Chains A and B, each alone.
Chain A
Amino acid sequence: MPFHYFGKINFVPYTKVTKFADYLKDGKLMGTRCKKCGEFYFPPRADCIKCFSDEFEWVETTGKGRLHTYTIIYAAPTGFDDIAPYIIGVLDLDDGGRLLGWVDVPEEQIEIEMRLKAVPKIFEEIPDIKLYYSLEKIK
């Protein structure tokens, strides 16, 4: 599955980590690990910044973590005005790395450092397959 399925609007359809979208469709949130030095990356990277190796493997992350910070977008850019206001959060993942995504928690219940989980989703309101993840409370 091409990477252009990732996101409500996708700006970069071609990447070396295009399999991320395949995994996401299957409900898996994957990062990459450098085969040489073992460095873990989320968001995934094809090339290691530590040892400069270009060999990597896919590793599943639980998507669990702590909310580092958030904002609520009221003035939305072109292509997102139909869903505004929406909450964007930054999650510090337990497995390493950070993730930015929509927060699916009522505004008044949001607290910095609260435990959340990034859950793979399919954007159903749109006819084409559009994948994303939302940050939800851990049940």
Chain B
Amino acid sequence: MKVGIVGIGHGKFGRRSDATVQELAFEPFREALIDAGDITQHDIDATIIGSSPEYHKQRSLPGVVAEYLGVNPQPTWLTEAACASGSAAIRTAYVAIKSGMQEVVAVIGLQKMTELTTPEILALMGRVGDVQWESIFGTTFPGYYALYATRHMYEFRTTKEQMAMVAVKNHHYGTMNPKAMFQKEVTIEKCLASDKVAYPLNVFDCCANADGAACIIMTNEKNAKKLNDTPIWLEGLGCASAEMSVLRRPHLVGIPSTVEASKQAYKQAGIKPKDVDVADVHDCFTIAEIMAYEDLGFCEKGKGGKFIEEKQSYIGGKTPVNIDGGLKAKGHPVGATGVSMTTEIVKQLRGEAGKRQVDAEIGLTHNVGGIGQYCFVHIHGR
């Protein structure tokens, strides 16, 4: 029995001072119910929230969200895997449906980050490293990826210009996505001249903290065919972890959990990396997208810089990547991101992506939690 996605919804990402977390959740939930063929909240038999709870003033998110969405007394719970919480929720839904325990599940990726100040967020995110031995030196989240970037530059001659090219591409496609936080083109020069955050990363190498929510409705094969004439199937799911501390990682030029999770997903789906027609990868930083090309097998290890330089991740290249703008232009409301990626891939496979449509049979999402402590790779097909 296959598991399919029959409804998608996506709220506006950005600084959402106009809404509470539960109000943010309502936007894509409503859209997804309509998209799933006008089902109602009573047809949902479980609601799974993907979110990183420490950003919110409101404790225990599923409680307040389920009430606001009117999905009591059906079950609801939270999944947490830092920036991959959304994909963790999707995997949980897959397992629940596959087991027969649930039939129609709403997965909501949700985050409101701007209740905190930027230094508070930097402190909080820096603690996704080992707090005993690392955070005491004032590590930050960009700082960790910067450690990877410096080593990648040393081993493979990757350049800051190549990193900037990732930002240029993602902002370019962001202009075509009305739900994205930023809809402005940027240039390599502008990226390189932007404020320093953590050498070698500048502001334009980093995605932005944001508020937002996305929702998908997942169900079993029997229901999917009834509800929707174009269900998108989850054909392969991979999930892996890596050492919390970068000090205990085998190397600092790639994310080992990405390699492992993608192997699992390719195997289940019975495909090779070159079969992927469109991908949404975790570009929390420009270097992260470059490493993702390599770790997902779109190119050889060390050739990620060349891959973007040759525009292989643009529409028309070998593997179009983040043509919804990525985390970089959309903004990165931590828990919402994995679900947001999934809505884009579903749109691409349905042929509903408008100006940024590619001819796609197979789509991939790659969602990383922390600095690769968690990784989820999902392969979708028509």
Chain B residue at smallest Cβ distance from A76:
B138
State in angstroms the CA–CA spacing of A98 and B130 once bound together.
Answer: 13
Q: Does A15 touch B at the CB level, under 8 Å? A: yes
Contact string, A96-136, partner B, CB cutoff 8 A, digits 1/0? 01111110000000001100000000000000000010000
How many interface residues does B have (CB within 8 Å)? 39
Interface residues of B in 219-254 (CB under 8 A from A): 245-248, 252
Interface residues of B in 111-132 (CB under 8 A from A): 118-120, 122-123, 126-127, 130-132
Q: Which residues of B contact A79 (CB under 8 A)?
A: 123, 138
Q: Which residues of A contact B147 (CB under 8 A)?
A: 69-71, 88, 90
Surface stretch bound by A, among B43-51, B196-204, B317-325: B196-204
Tell me whether A69 and B140 are in contact (CB under 8 A). no
Q: Which residues of B contact A78 (CB under 8 A)?
A: 119-120, 122-123
Pick from A7, A74, A99: contact of B247, CB under 8 Å:
A99
Tell me whether A132 and B140 are in contact (CB under 8 A). no
Known contacts A97-B247, A132-B137; is-contact A68 B122 (Cβ 8 Å): no
Chain A residue at smallest Cβ distance from B195:
A74
Tell me whether A73 and B138 are in contact (CB under 8 A). yes
Tell me whether B151 and A68 are in contact (CB under 8 A). yes
Chain B residue at smallest Cβ distance from A111:
B154
State in angstroms the CA–CA spacing of A81 and B135 once bound together.
Answer: 14
8 additional A-B residue pairs with CB within 8 Å, beyond A73-B143, A77-B126, A99-B247: A7-B135, A11-B131, A69-B150, A74-B198, A75-B198, A76-B122, A84-B138, A132-B137
12 A-B residue pairs with CB within 8 Å: A11-B127, A43-B247, A70-B147, A71-B198, A74-B199, A75-B140, A75-B197, A79-B138, A86-B137, A86-B138, A88-B139, A90-B147
